[in-house]
Each structure stands twice: as structure tokens, then as C-alpha cells.
A and B are shown apart, each in its own frame.
Chain A
């Protein structure tokens, strides 16, 4: 199937399954991705699970699971949707066209669900994103129960006393969230500890997968890698045990797969600096051009500390990782990946209308350019089917340039 023939994200996932017909583990991961939202909503409807909408990518995930609730990533709801949701945000809610496409898509989906039997609680995470703030305020008016944590931002040089104050502030935030989640201002520390251990276990396993991918660069292609790492590792697609079992199987498959020397000779190692997006054709274009996303901004970088109280561990993890605030923290991860892989290029990907992230991308571009690492800055959409010819041209030309 040619990239241009594919018109929806679900088509891409089906295509990805066919490409990975040799891997039971990848099939399972893709199945988990596809069933994440529908299964969570079905289980909620049948009274089998409690669930909330959440960003579902950071510190809040262990906390939500520890509270007996399934975090359902609202970005995934938008990711597999269609153009109709975008039009709802623009026409019904009058979002300006230039507003972030990811937010508009999510708003459209919440709108469609406003009268359906599904969970109506949204945990917003960080007030740094103005379009999301707007979305959450609108959803409050539509009857959703919305809780938004305050911004967590560690400046480039924040250390020592100031850092301790930030941690203290954030610990309070975590208790506030717990109170909203469960009705009581008390964290079940034993359960949270178990969730932190699970997260660390999975972070280590994903590190192992990424290490093994260096020997088998094309075994897990780009889209499957992104879904496994950018989504699965964050929230386990709502099914932690099944996700972990799929990763265990993948490790086994990779360890037993024969090394193809020709692949190792031909591969063009790339680092992906961006979110997941929805233009899955970009990943296909990378694959078809001989590139492989071997390094990612979302690579499991640091573990949660297990030697301190679990709530404090969540807070310290936030300030010690790529998403701590200033762009330099994410850049450190990228640099680590570029150096580790001797990467030839960096793909900087963001969503149309996201001025917030575009500033970081520009700073990273300049920094890595000075280091002699080529990069390409892509703006992708979050709501449409196949990517535009120009985007594919850019990606392919970039990989050709590095070949």
C-alpha cells in the first residue's frame, strides 16, 4: 500500500500490522493502541472500571492507577478521530483556525461525548498551554468535571533551595489532585509505591527494547515505535499487565531475531524530537526512505526514585526529566540520544498552531546545527488523514540528504 492511498489513522495502524506480520508482540501493541479508548469507555459503561480523561503521559499516571482509576489519554481520543471533530472546534466553539490542531481535535471529541454515557471527568495537567486551558474551561461549561493542576516549570538554572521549594509546591499539588480523584486528601502510599515500581520496571524494559533495536533497526518500524513508547509506556493503553506482557514478548523476539548486517550498514539513525501527532504517513515516509527512529525525546531517561516517599518521588521525577520546564532539559535528552546513536539527523516535529513548542524547536535546531547535526523542522496536523505531499517530500528529501 502506498502512503498516499491511506486516508485515516486506523488505515495506517492496519498497514503497520501487515508490515509487522512477523511479530506477535507488535501486533499486540497495536491492538492495545486501537482498543485503548473504546475498551476503557465500555468498561466504564458496564461499571467494571473507573476512568478519567487525563493527559496520561507523566507523573499523574502512577497516581491515578494507585487511586483505582484508569487514566485515559484524551490525546489518543483525538488521534484516531476525523476531520469532523476539527470542524466542531472551529465552527461551534469558534476556535481560531491557527489554534493548535491537537487541542481542537480533542475539543471536538469531548463535544461529541457530552451527552453520551461515558466518563466526564478531565484532569488537566499544567496551565502552560493556553489552548488547552481554553478547552478545559469550555468543557466545564458543557458539564464536565475539570480539574487543572498548576504549572510546573523548572528554569534552566534552578537548583538547591529553589528546587526544593518547587518540589514542596508540587507535593501539595499531588495531594490536591488526589483529593479531586478520590474525595480524600490521602494517598495510598503502598499502592503508589507498587505503581512506581511498575513504571520503573517498564522504563528499564523499554530501554532494553531500544538497545536491542540498535541491532535490529527495522524490526519495529517508526509508527509502532512511537505508539509503543510515546503512548504505551506512558499510560499502558489502560491495560498495564497486557502492555507489559507485550513488551516482554517483544524483548524475547528481538533477542532471538537474527542480525541483518545489511540493515546495520544501510540504516540512517534518526532522533525524533516531538510528540506523536496524527500524520502517521510521516513515519511511513521515514521507513520507506531508509530511516529509522532509533532515538526519541521521550526515551526512558531517568527512573523514579524508590528510596524516598512515593509522592515526593513523583515530584522529583517531574523536575528531573525532559519535561521539567525549560527547553534545555529536553535538549539534554536529545543530545544524549544523538551522541549515543551517532545519529545523522534530528526530526523536530510539532503541531500546527503550537507557538509554545515552536520556540523550543527553533532553539534545538540552532543548537544541534552548531554541533553539525542536521535537522528538519516539521509542522504536522492532528486531525487529517494522509499527510500532504510537501511534508512527505520534506521527510524523504531529508533522509536522502543524510543517506
Chain B
């Protein structure tokens, strides 16, 4: 738990009301949730289960436990992520928003100067351009054609190098001569990594080569929509130090500082959108009353 004003950009934190809202982001690998209540921000995280509603319920309960709130206290929920489609929150007003809009809003909430976002999740990678005035998406592009450039790709490579996913990024930071990985397909990259191992390439150099190859893939996405600083990194892979370094090197831009683990960016954006939805509902009601 932390104070909202200490985490969010002043421009956004000043708009947060007392409405208790939740953003739930069910990703392909991990479920994340953020609660705003009484000026505080609570987070919860858990691996995504087979049935996404179970994951959402687990996150929801954990947030209630941490905050001491009751279910009936929650005014609005926004669900997002790949598991969003199956979400349902009985008796609580809710809506489903895509993770693209939520990540944009989340990054904006953390740093309102962010104009470009790299979002690498378990299943795909995205480049998103954001409107600094309101956190809305200006343009986006997704790579989901194959596993390359995704968290799943990095997981596979970590296995080949006998590392955990967390260790892969740290290992890459030790590289002195990053390997040249030409293939972007998981299947072919696997062969390439095996060949490099057979030739005696250092594990750290292979790890760095893989991260650079993935970063080049992300750069191609930005070549299409344009990259404008400030730049943010969100999604599950954002905690990978090796990936962060590779992206900064290849994109030629530093990531903006944020005060919350960026894996929560989608859920955070969901919570901000939940607040906005309540406000929009109120102004619509007021408009209707005024018209009547």
C-alpha cells in the first residue's frame, strides 16, 4: 500500500476522487490488480489460472483483505488484458477495456509526459503513442504474428540457457560481446542458440544477443508509428533489466522514471479509467437532469 499522491503524476493524482475503484489486468501469464481507496493505492499480483475469473476473484479478495474494504464498497471495476473477455463482477458496475488503452492510461498516470510506450507482455509486444493531455491512445501497433519479441520468447531462451526468466536479464548485463542473433522465430532462434552454445559463446553474450534481437523487433514497431520521448516501458517484461538496457540502446532513448512497478501499468490504467467512468456517468446524469 502506498499513497496515491506519492506514486501518480501530480497532473493525474489531483483528479483522483474518493470513489473506490479497481483495475484488473489478466495477462496471459500474470494477473495484476490495483485499488484506489481513501487516497491510497493497493496492488495484488498472481499467476494467471486456467479460468481467468478465478484469477480475478483471487486478486479482488486480496485487495479487499489488504485494504479492509467490503465488496459493497467498490464503486467500479475495469477489467483488461487477454483474460478480460471472460470477466464478470456481479452487482458491481464494471466495464471491459482493452489493455492498449489501459497501458496508455497507466503510463500517463505514472508520468504525464510519456508520449511513447513499449509494452512487452507474455503473448505479444506493442508500441503505443499517447496523448499527454489525457492519456488516450493516439496510435498503436501490435506484434502478435509469432512468439518472437514477446515474454514467451524470452522464457524459451532462458530455458535453453538453464536460467530462470528473471536471471536471463541479469545475465545479459554481464555481456562483453553480445552474440549476433539473426533469427526472430522462436523455433529457429532455438537452433541458433544451440549452435552458439556449441561454438562456445558465453551465456551472457547469448542472453544479450537475444535481448538485442527482441529490441530490434520493437524498434520496427516504432519505425511504423514514430517514437517521441518521454518513453515508458510496461508489461511483464518491463522488470527485465537486460531487456530495458537493450531497448534503450536500440531505440536511442531512456525510459522515464516511474514510482510503481510497471507490470501494474495496465491495472493502474484500468483503475484510472474506472474513476473517469464514474465521473462521466455523473456528468451524463447531471446533463439529463439539466435537459429535463
Docked CA distance A389–B85 (Å): 9
Interchain CB contact under 8 A, B98 and A393: yes
Docked CA distance A247–B180 (Å): 62
Docked CA distance A199–B191 (Å): 59
Cβ contacts under 8 Å, A390 to chain B: 123-124, 142, 144
Contacting residue for A400 out of B97, B124, B139, CB 8 A: B97
Docked CA distance A393–B124 (Å): 11
Which of B124, B137, B138 has the most chain A CB within a 10 Å cutoff?
B137
Which of B82, B85, B97, B124 has the most chain A CB within a 10 Å cutoff?
B85
B101 at the interface (CB under 8 A from A): yes
In the assembled complex, how far is the CB of residue B284 from the closest CB belonging to chain A, in whole angstroms?
A: 10
Interchain CB contact under 8 A, B124 and A397: no
Chain B, range 81-102, C-beta contacts under 8 Å to A: 82, 85-86, 97-101
Residue of B nearest to A4 (CB): B85
A401 at the interface (CB under 8 A from B): yes
Interchain CB contact under 8 A, B98 and A397: yes
Q: A393 with B101: in contact, given A4-B85, A401-B137 (CB under 8 Å)?
A: no
Interchain CB contact under 8 A, B85 and A394: no
Which of A388, A396, A401 has the most chain B CB within a 10 Å cutoff?
A401
Interchain CB contact under 8 A, A397 and B85: no
Contacting residue for A401 out of B82, B140, B142, B144, CB 8 A: B140
B136 at the interface (CB under 8 A from A): yes
A–B Cβ pairs within 8 angstroms, 16 of them: A3-B85, A4-B85, A389-B82, A390-B144, A393-B99, A396-B98, A397-B100, A397-B140, A400-B97, A400-B100, A400-B137, A401-B100, A401-B101, A401-B137, A401-B139, A401-B140
Residue of B nearest to A365 (CB): B224
Main secondary structure of the interface of A (DSSP, over half): helix
Cβ contacts under 8 Å, A397 to chain B: 98-101, 137, 140
Q: A374 with B144: in contact, given A397-B101, A401-B101 (CB under 8 Å)?
A: no
A190 at the interface (CB under 8 A from B): no
Chain A, range 370-393, C-beta contacts under 8 Å to B: 374, 388-390, 392-393
Please name 20 further chain A to chain B contacts, defined as beta carbons within 8 Å, in addition to the given A393-B98, A393-B99, A393-B100, sorted by A numbering. A2-B85, A3-B85, A374-B139, A388-B144, A389-B82, A389-B85, A390-B123, A390-B124, A390-B142, A390-B144, A392-B85, A394-B142, A397-B98, A397-B99, A397-B137, A400-B100, A400-B101, A401-B100, A401-B101, A401-B138
In the assembled complex, how far is the CB of residue A265 from the closest CB belonging to chain B, in whole angstroms?
A: 10
Which of A2, A4, A394 has the most chain B CB within a 10 Å cutoff?
A394
Residue of B nearest to A396 (CB): B98
Docked CA distance A401–B97 (Å): 11
Residue of B nearest to A288 (CB): B96
Docked CA distance A396–B85 (Å): 12
Cβ contacts under 8 Å, B97 to chain A: 400
Cβ contacts under 8 Å, B137 to chain A: 397, 400-401
In the assembled complex, how far is the CB of residue B76 from the closest CB belonging to chain A, in whole angstroms?
A: 17
Docked CA distance A390–B86 (Å): 15
The size of the chain B interface, using a CB distance under 8 A, is: 17
Docked CA distance A256–B138 (Å): 39
Residue of A nearest to B143 (CB): A390
In the assembled complex, how far is the CB of residue A295 from the closest CB belonging to chain B, in whole angstroms?
A: 21
Chain B, range 108-143, C-beta contacts under 8 Å to A: 123-124, 136-140, 142
Which of B97, B100, B123 has the most chain A CB within a 10 Å cutoff?
B100
Cβ contacts under 8 Å, A2 to chain B: 85
In the assembled complex, how far is the CB of residue B51 from the closest CB belonging to chain A, in whole angstroms?
A: 14
Residue of B nearest to A377 (CB): B141
Residue of A nearest to B273 (CB): A400
Cβ contacts under 8 Å, A396 to chain B: 98
Docked CA distance A390–B138 (Å): 19
Residue of A nearest to B288 (CB): A262
Docked CA distance A378–B124 (Å): 16
Residue of B nearest to A2 (CB): B85
Cβ contacts under 8 Å, B124 to chain A: 390
Residue of B nearest to A391 (CB): B144
Cβ contacts under 8 Å, B139 to chain A: 374, 401
Which of A388, A390, A392 has the most chain B CB within a 10 Å cutoff?
A390
Cβ contacts under 8 Å, A3 to chain B: 85
Docked CA distance A397–B140 (Å): 9
Interchain CB contact under 8 A, B136 and A401: yes
Which of A2, A389, A397 has the most chain B CB within a 10 Å cutoff?
A397
Residue of A nearest to B131 (CB): A401
